[in-house]
Chain A
Amino acid sequence: MKQFLKTNGAWLGFLTLAIILTVWTGGDFLSPRNLTNLIRQTSINGILAAGMTMIILTGGIDLSIGSVVALCGVVVGLSQVNYGLGTMGVMGLWLSAGVALIAGVLIGLVNGALIATLRLAPFIITLGMMVVARGLALIFSGGSSISPMGENLNELAGGYFSEFATIIFLGCAAAIFFYSFWKERKNFRFVNLIFPLFAFILFGQSFLRYKGFPNLALFLILIIGVTWIILNHTVFGRSVYAVGSNEKAAYWAGVPLKRVKIIAYALMGLFAGLASLLLSGRLNGADPNAGQLFELDAIAAVVIGGVSLKGGVGTVTGSLIGALTMATLNNGMDLLGVSSFYQMVFKGLIIILAVSLDRNQREA
């Protein structure tokens, strides 16, 4: 039972919340349209949470990503509107995406390099970067939002795949899913299968019954998948866990601390760049004031997902469930017509509750 709670606590939290909302909204919560929206609402925070997972696993933190999303968004906006990439079709979209990602990576590299070489606290460095990036976003944009974005970008973030493609995707997902369980069949436990299977069916059928597989969801799944592979199957991922578990021991084992940290922050920047691209497409504009408190939503998702703030413990799939829980909370309260002022209070309380139930977060 203890073991079950430990590995499935985050799922249980999400499920409890979903049941409460279903009952409370008289089933509206479970409508295909709403569940599709829920996934779309999860996507951007989920992508940021994936990057934040790696950072927090090293024992660090990145407070700058909200501002970085805004800054990269402004870069996307300028490229789309002022440099006319919005009218250049797919080519323009690729170029805009390129500059957004490069801008994100550059800022991440600066964060990482300062933290790794000056040996300063990530909290302070990224707090500084949070202000710097916000300032740059306001300077580049002249303080006002930029719109409209090109057709392709709007489609990228707001579109859906056809029914046929959706079935293919769901089939692939199911295949990968069952393959991973097949590989682990020696220590197979049915309980570990319940929740993922349940979520898969719940969301899969909503996509099919609504407009199809949302593009945003594909990005989310790709980023979570890539992060999972990085963390579990690359030397870098192992080093991330090692550094967060005991930095000194990692040093004496010959782990290149500086490079590991710099790459972690650069990947966070990359993901922030992608998030900014999707956000500008979804909102059909770039606002230098966008992305406020995104860093805190990402941190909350990661922590609810069971990643220890001290580093060295946690998984990216946990963070995904954390992001899903956060989105469910927002979505449910919107459905119930709770005023956004009260929403903030409830959200904060739920974060405290969720984290207090998690043993990983306890001090010693």
Chain B
Amino acid sequence: MLPLISLKNISKSFGIVKALRSIQLEVQPGEILALVGENGAGKSTLMKILSGVYPVGEFEGVIEVRNQPVSFRSPRDSEAQGIALIHQELSTFPQLSVAENMMVGHWPTQKGLVDHRSLQKKAEHWLKILAADFSPMQKMSTLSPGQQQVVEIGKALSRNSKILILDEPTSSLTHRETKKLFSLLQDLRKQGCALIYISHRMEEIFYLADRVVVLRDGQNVFTSEVKGLKQADLIRAMVGRELEQAFQPQISSASSNIILEVEDFCAHHLASAKKYGPLHFSLAQGEILGFSGLLGAGRSEILQALCGDEAYTTSGEVKFKKSKKAFGKLQKAYRQGFGLVPEDRKVQSILPTRSLSENTSVVRLAQKSLFSWVSKSIEKSRTEKDLKVLRTRFHSTEQTITELSGGNQQKVIFARVMQNSPEILILDEPTRGVDVGAKFEIYQLARQWAQEGKAIILISSDLPELMALSDRILVMAGGRIQGQLLKSEFQEEAIIKLAIQADSKVEKI
């Protein structure tokens, strides 16, 4: 069969850094090709070349669509050849309707004005094909991330795209939405589309893809059919070393020393009037307590409220080291020994325009009086030491944090929290958007900290991760704890059952 698209000898360098070295890639019609690799391996550079963001002349090599060499001067040219890139972070117009978003740039007009009737009809046509459960007249902002993903796919199809590139499409989807997306992608495969699927999640690759290509350091290091491939082999190809042992559950380091007791804790969000709780749990030194639940179960929210997020009023009893506490302010909680790694690194963690040292010291400095002195040399050496302990890859403490890959950025955030020597660590989706290598290092760090006697609360949507790390898992739904699973009872089905059961309960009411 003729490949729908093939890349031949693609190389690209930024200055002296070689981002891609003679990459070969082919996708057949009716095939889902998984493209994997650690962050910084060159996936996004390759996709930018394919979608015309880097115009012809800025890279070497040839792109062929249906065996015809093509040259893209802009994303428009690539679009005209039937290539559509669906970004990890969707760029939609939240104030416009679904139909307007779907047809953006191609709105049908009549006498120079937008023809809303035909716009709506066209959008309806595609939404029907995609079996969407929303109307083209809805405002984009009323859709869930999964529904927005569907609109993006509809946008691609409406432009007659045959080659779809999906960059981590499930990173903000719930379990149910992910399933729906997968069946949609499988339909597209049947219709002869070629799909390039970029993901960090092993289960997704093995479930969905026909073939997998691994990039490492800008090179094509591994290509294989998915059928018969072992997960361990794939991981080894990605990181270039053995990491299986990190997935093995280890012996718990939990002591009998209870450090945190939460009784009847309720949080009330002031702006949206949403209520979370009541929450009961206790946490021992050296324990890793997992929090599971679907998107919107209120895990992050209630734990943030516990740390003193000012957006909430709270009630109930929080006992930290046997004495009652009410924080009311994040600074207070941090001063007492709480550490928080927030869920969304880009929005809640990094200071994008600032250096690694400034990013690392910000939590520690925020504890001090505003007019105390900051010594740059001490800060520098301390940052350097702390980042090295976490095995962060960087070349200078004065480089801007956005120059690092996602995983290394996350390590800077860890260093930031650890500089305050917390006794309780709340890790909210600590491995989201982090490559496999860094992921395993983060697991090891979490275990090491637990062994050192820190108490860890882990919020994660990645069930294998949660089960591998936690000593106990609490499942939340509708802002409440629905059940607790001990290590011996860990099972994906059991967790999902608890998380969903409550969901339907809420719906009934």
Chain A interface residues (CB < 8 Å from chain B): 232-239, 241-242, 244-246, 248-256, 259-260, 263, 308, 312-313
- Cβ contact within 8 Å between B350 and A249: yes
With A238-B374, A248-B347, A249-B347 in contact, is A254–B366 under 8 Å at CB?
A: yes
Contact partner of B366 (CB less than 8 A), chosen from A234, A235, A308, A313, is A235
With A251-B330, A254-B367 in contact, is A242–B351 under 8 Å at CB?
A: yes
Secondary structure at the A interface, as helix, strand, loop or mixed, is helix
A-B contacts, 23 listed (Cβ < 8 Å): A233-B376, A234-B374, A235-B365, A235-B368, A235-B369, A236-B371, A239-B370, A241-B354, A241-B358, A242-B354, A244-B353, A245-B354, A246-B352, A248-B347, A249-B348, A252-B340, A252-B348, A252-B349, A254-B330, A254-B363, A256-B331, A263-B370, A312-B352
A294 smallest CB distance to B (angstroms): 28
With A251-B330, A253-B363, A312-B353 in contact, is A233–B373 under 8 Å at CB?
A: yes
A358 smallest CB distance to B (angstroms): 14
Cα distance, A284 to B506, chains bound together (Å): 75
- Cβ contact within 8 Å between B358 and A238: yes
- Cβ contact within 8 Å between B349 and A254: no
Chain B residues in 8 Å Cβ range of A235: 365-366, 368-372, 374
B14 smallest CB distance to A (angstroms): 13
Chain A residues in 8 Å Cβ range of B342: 252
A290 smallest CB distance to B (angstroms): 32
Within 8 Å of chain A (Cβ to Cβ): is B432?
no
Contact partner of A312 (CB less than 8 A), chosen from B331, B347, B351, B365, is B351
- Cβ contact within 8 Å between B352 and A248: no
Cα distance, A155 to B479, chains bound together (Å): 69
B238 smallest CB distance to A (angstroms): 30
Cα distance, A180 to B362, chains bound together (Å): 24
Cα distance, A58 to B191, chains bound together (Å): 52
Mark each residue of chain B from 331 to 365: 1 if its CB lies under 8 Å from any CB of chain A, else 0.
10010000010100001111111100010011101
Chain A residues in 8 Å Cβ range of B200: none
Tell me the count of chain B residues lying within 8 A, CB to CB, of chain A: 30
Cα distance, A235 to B373, chains bound together (Å): 7
- Cβ contact within 8 Å between B351 and A250: yes
Within 8 Å of chain A (Cβ to Cβ): is B416?
yes
- Cβ contact within 8 Å between A249 and B353: no
Most buried by A among B350, B354, B372: B354
Chain A residues in 8 Å Cβ range of B373: 233-234
Chain A residues in 8 Å Cβ range of B351: 241-242, 245-246, 249-250, 312
Question: Top 8 nearest A-B pairs by Cβ distance?
Answer: A245-B351, A254-B366, A312-B353, A236-B370, A254-B331, A253-B362, A245-B353, A254-B330
A265 smallest CB distance to B (angstroms): 14
B348 smallest CB distance to A (angstroms): 5
Chain A residues in 8 Å Cβ range of B363: 253-254
- Cβ contact within 8 Å between A255 and B362: yes
Chain A residues in 8 Å Cβ range of B374: 232-235, 237-238
Cα distance, A235 to B371, chains bound together (Å): 6
Q: Which residue of B lies closest to A230 (CB)?
A: B371
Mark each residue of chain B from 85 to 121: 1 if its CB lies under 8 Å from any CB of chain A, else 0.
0000000000000000000000000000000000000
Q: Which residue of A lies closest to B379 (CB)?
A: A238
Chain A residues in 8 Å Cβ range of B330: 251-252, 254
A340 smallest CB distance to B (angstroms): 38
Chain B residues in 8 Å Cβ range of A255: 362, 366
Chain A residues in 8 Å Cβ range of B369: 235
Chain B residues in 8 Å Cβ range of A245: 351-354
Most buried by B among A250, A253, A260: A253
Cα distance, A252 to B338, chains bound together (Å): 12
Chain B residues in 8 Å Cβ range of A244: 353
Chain A residues in 8 Å Cβ range of B354: 241-242, 245, 312
- Cβ contact within 8 Å between A238 and B376: no
Chain A residues in 8 Å Cβ range of B416: 253
Cα distance, A251 to B416, chains bound together (Å): 14
